[in-house]
Amino acid sequence: MNRRQLLQGGGTLTLAAVAGLATAATQASAPEMHDHHHDHHHHGAGADYRALAHSATHCVMLGEACIDHCLDLLAQGDKSLAACAKSVEQLLAICNALRQMATYKSAHVPRLAKLAMDVCKECETECNKHKEHQACRDCAQACAECHQECAKVAA
């Protein structure tokens, strides 16, 4: 066997292995097609926080765009968005935590949502000072929406 045959054979083997792993992963993560009747129930094991998780994710996404915009302007010497950038940094921290905890259906979500309401409101207020910037306007809107979702579950 020469080197070319070995490399071609190895490439085929690698592709087959990758395809096998992808198939196994798909089968492992796919829901089964039959009903399961288990004797366990999750009484009070966590509320459904999907809307809150979605809102926090949206807030993070638009917050990242906002802080990117702020940093671009700061790099050009425009310090007018420094406070905005600081408020967005705090927003990103709380909304990332909120998204994760909501996804886990943690019992701590109501208390975290209460704190997130304050951070979202502060960020919304700061971003609204810079409405002439689309990124700030979008972030302020996402903060307002996340604040509303937090209010639905806050302790």
* Domain map (residue ranges) of the chain: 50-153
Q: Backbone dihedral region of 46: left (phi > 0), alpha (psi from -120 to 50 degrees) or beta?
A: left
Residue 7 has pLDDT above 60, yes or no: no
Distance, C-alpha 113 to centroid of its chain: 15
How many Å apart are CA 53 and CA 65, to the nearest integer?
19
Give the CATH number of domain 50-153: 1.20.1270.360
Six-digit token string for 103: 């996804």
Half-sphere exposure for 72 (CA within 13 Å, toward CB) = 9
Q: What tens digit of pLDDT does each residue of 115-134 get?
A: 999 999 999 999 999 999 99
How many Å apart are CA 106 and CA 49, to the nearest integer?
9
Do the Cβ atoms of 46 and 107 come closer than 8 Å?
yes
Q: What tens digit of pLDDT does each residue of 68-114 get?
A: 999 999 999 999 999 999 999 999 999 999 999 999 999 999 999 99
How many Å apart are CA 35 and CA 89, to the nearest integer?
45
How many Å apart are CA 149 and CA 11, to the nearest integer?
50
